Structure 1
Amino acid sequence: MAAVTLKDVAQRAGVSIKTVSNVVRGAPKVSETTRTRVMRAVAELGYRPNPSARRLRTGRSGLIALAVPDLATPYFAELAHHVRTEAAALGFTVLIEETLGDAKEELRLATGVGASLLDGVILSPLHVSSDELAPVADEFPLVLLGERSYERDRVVADHVLIDNVAAAREATAHLAGLGRTRIAAIGVDRPASATSRQRLEGFQLALHEAGLTYDPRLSPQVTEFDRSNGLLAMRTLIGLPADVRPDAVFCFSDLLAIGARRAAFEAGFHIPGDIALAGVDGSEEARYSTPSLTSVVPDKAAIASLAVKCLATRIRADEAPPFEVHMAPYWLEVRESTSGERQQPATP
């Protein structure tokens, strides 16, 4: 069967070949009605851009990369889905890479592994330094996701994130507002990551505002933000004397909270009666767990949209625009693990 061409799509959509090209390339000067009609024709005919031809014509391949620490983590899996959707709408194909938090791998991917093929990279770094990323972003389209591990007044690349200090503060204030006075934090790691530092800062601010004292015994260290570390940390907390043992726990990720919930269940503690529990990430696992988990929900669709559009602007700009920091929205979704109120199952 002959390959579907731009001309075929143009005839099906009733527009010019130039218009189809503009839509496929993600050019901004196309009405939403026309864009929708063209994309419907693209889908119906199964049109696929020819990257080699595009590279010769425009100097770009239409291929970008998303590099995240761990694809097994629900947050990053869900984020990758949104990035792929947003990229497709702008005419980009996404290569998904996993760094496992290795600084050398993060830097390698930030430079655009096989840079002759990639137009740009969206990177969620854990350990690569700002000094290493700064010269990369000056030469290659790069957008960073997640927490900023550098000085607040120094922007080394385009960056999309949520306000982690404010988010942790709100979640902890919610726990304190329930009348809980011995509030623990699971997520303090070593070496301290930007995520851990910022969420601990928000946690401590909320304690201070509630008239509560930060007790280091209620912040057991973890090595990863995963279920097993949540399990072990909660076992440590449950093993404390009764007058120290927490009556609420704020976990720095939903996975930590899922592990912590298991440890509480094994020890015969009721959630939220004995221990109220909250997490961060707004994962589907949190929504469907029993009890359902109260969680800070970053707007992953908004994060993906901001990141892809920011990268597309940098790729297509004749002159590199100044680096910007984009704050994405989030909200606290209160569920059974703190409210104690039975909820209807979430609608698919």
Structure 2
Amino acid sequence: MSSPTLQDIADHLGVSKMTVSRALRGEAYVAAALRTRILEAAANLGYRPDPEISKLMTHMRRKRRSQAPRTLAFVWAEKEPQDLGLSAWSRQLISGAKARAETLGFQLDEFHLAGKGMTGRRLSDILEARGIPGFILSPLISRSRGHVSMRWEKFSSVVIGLGYARPALHRVHHHHYLGMMTAMRQLKKLGYRRIGYYGGSVINERMFGAWSASFLAHHPLPLKQAEMLLGLRREPNRSNFLEWLAKVKPDAVIEGGHLVADWLQDMTDSKHLGVVTLGWRADRPQVAGVDQQAEVLGAAAVDLLVAQEQQNERGLPQHPKIVMTEGTWRPGESVRRRGDL
């Protein structure tokens, strides 16, 4: 017996073939109750889409977009427009996202939740009025957990990072556990053993302890000694760092950003200390570390969003996906082989 067609489903329900097609693609033009009836009928009749036809339709939609790019949104959750230019990481992130969107035939417009009078509900209304079907939500920076009240049911969506506690959405983030493991392995290769990690506890909490867990798991010293070299602080500052440094006496320090490198610049007795950052920056190439490749992260977020848009998937996903991107090691003058010190 041949597989039922769209026309068979349409005849069974007494609706048009186009209505069935739109319902199966999840388009908003079909009322929710009717869509439910069509989906149930398709399942009961054993309908299965032809993958070759689906492939052809995806190609045709892409071709139409290349002629008139469809707009997607990149929503900055916390940063004001004037603050974005101060962060090299943010510039890389949006640059990679926009480049990937253009390659796939889309235009990516930026919006700001931190703007005066802006709320998630108001922004949702703006996006819907402009016919924007989906958006990417930037990572949280200032806090470990957060929530944004968008009208999720209206859009395809992807969040960057692990900071959003709810709802459960598709997300992409840097493989922080692997990043710390890479830093530890590079330092061990160079002969460092008394390796310390100093950084903020908020960012570590936001990534579910990935940095601290990887630090302890890959440390060359026994666990009890390694724990003594773990310096997590709610509010890291230079004074506290110097106290910690004098107490634990590491031969190398791993940090999340570039604060430690800055604090050590005017200390002549720190030249022997290795410094590695987990957030390598092109404008600070002398500090060795892990380049998180924010542009790759931005591109991955677009890929995940476009996949939903092409399948007309809207609302909260039943099975949220997590996509992780890898960084790469960048050598620098801040570390060297122990025998060369």
Q: 2:300 aligns with which of 297, 300, 306?
A: 306
Q: In 2, are the aligned partners of 1:66 and 1:96 still within 8 Å (CA)?
A: yes
Matching of residue 92 in structure 1 with residue 140 in structure 2: no
What's 1:62 paired with? Answer: 71
1:78 is paired with a residue whose SS is helix
1:141 match: 156
For residues 152-163 of structure 1, what are the structure 2 equivalents within 5 Å?
Answer: 156-163=168-175
- Of 178, 182, 185 in structure 2, the residue corresponding to residue 170 of structure 1 is 182
CA distance in structure 1 between the aligned counterparts of 2:198 and 2:208, rounded to whole angstroms: 10
Distance 1:123 1:319, change over 3 A: closer
Does the CA-based 8 Å contact 2:194-2:221 persist in structure 1? no
Selected match of 1:115 from 89, 104, 128 = 128
Letter in 2 for 1:156: A
Instruction: Give secondary structure in 2 for the equivalent of 1:88.
Output: helix
Q: Which stretch shows the higher mean deviation, 87-96 or 276-285? A: 87-96
CA contact (8 A) 1:112 1:120 kept: no
Tell me by how many angstroms 1:136 deviates.
Answer: 5.3
Inter-partner Cα distance in structure 1 for 2:282 and 2:96: 14
The answer to whether 1:29 aligns with 2:42 is no
Is the contact between residue 279 and residue 295 of structure 1 (CA under 8 Å) also seen in structure 2?
A: yes
**How far apart, in 2, do the equivalents of 1:302 and 1:336 lie?**
26
State the alpha-carbon separation in 2 of the partners of residues 325 and 197 from structure 1: 17
Structure 1: which 5+ runs fail to align? 1-26, 43-48, 55-60, 224-228, 342-348
Whether 1:315 and 2:309 are equivalent positions in the alignment is yes
* Secondary structure of 1:219's aligned partner: strand
Which residue among 221, 237, 240 is the counterpart of 2:241?
237
**Percent of aligned positions that are identical:** 17
Superposed, 1:282-297 pairs within 5 Å as 282-287=280-285, 292-297=286-291
Q: Which runs of 5+ in 2 are unaligned?
A: 1-56
The answer to whether the 8 A contact 1:220-1:237 is kept is no
Please tell me whether residue 279 in structure 1 is matched to residue 277 in structure 2.
Answer: yes
- 1:197 paired with 2:209, answer yes
Is the CA contact (8 Å cut-off) linking 2:261 and 2:287 kept in structure 1?
A: no
- Residues 66 and 97 of structure 1 are in contact (CA less than 8 Å); yes or no, is this contact kept in structure 2? yes
Query: How far off is 1:163 after superposition?
Result: 1.8
Residues 241-295 of structure 1 show CA distances to partners (whole Å, capped at 9, x for unaligned) of: 7563322111112xxx2x3222212121344xx21111123321232xxxx1111
1:345 corresponds to: none
In structure 1, distance between residues paired with 2:98 and 2:251? 41
C-alpha spacing 1:68/1:293, structure 2 compared with 1 (3 Å): farther
Tell me the TM-score normalised to structure 2 length.
Answer: 0.63
Shift in CA distance, 141/275, structure 1 to aligned 2, threshold 3 Å: same
- Name the count of aligned residue pairs: 268
CA shift for structure 1 position 296: 0.9
Larger-Rg structure: 2
User: Which has the higher relative contact order, 1 or 2, with Cα contacts under 8 A spaced 6 or more apart?
Assistant: 2
How far apart in 2 are the matches of 1:147 and 1:206? 23
Q: 1:79 aligns with which of 68, 74, 93?
A: 93
Indicate the SS of the match to 1:339: coil
> Residues of 2 paired with 1:200 and 1:161: CA distance?
17
Q: Write the letter of the residue equivalent to 1:142.
A: S
Is 1:189–1:196's contact at 8 Å kept on the other side of the alignment? no
Q: Distance in 2 between matches of 1:93 and 1:262?
A: 39
Please provide the CA RMSD for this pair. 4.0
Scaled by the length of structure 1, what TM-score is found? 0.62
The one of 177, 180, 194 equivalent to 2:192 is 180
Q: Secondary structure at the match of 2:250?
A: coil
Query: What amino acid is aligned across from residue 90 of structure 2 in structure 1?
Result: F
2:254 counterpart residue number: 250
Name the CA shift for 1:109/1:266 in 2 (closer, same or farther; >3 Å). farther
* Other structure's SS at 1:187 match: strand
CA gap 1:112/1:169 in 2 versus in 1, 3 angstroms? farther
**Deviation for aligned residue 1:171:** 0.9
1:155–1:325 CA contact under 8 A, matched in 2:
no
Do the aligned partners of 1:303 and 1:328 also contact (CA within 8 Å) in 2? yes
Provide the residue aligned with 1:4 in structure 2: none
Aligned partners of 1:172 and 1:106: how far apart in 2? 42
Structure 1 distance, partners of 2:112, 2:148, is 19
Q: Is the 8 A contact 1:66 1:94 kept in 2?
A: no
| Cα separation, 2, equivalents of 1:195 and 1:105 | 27
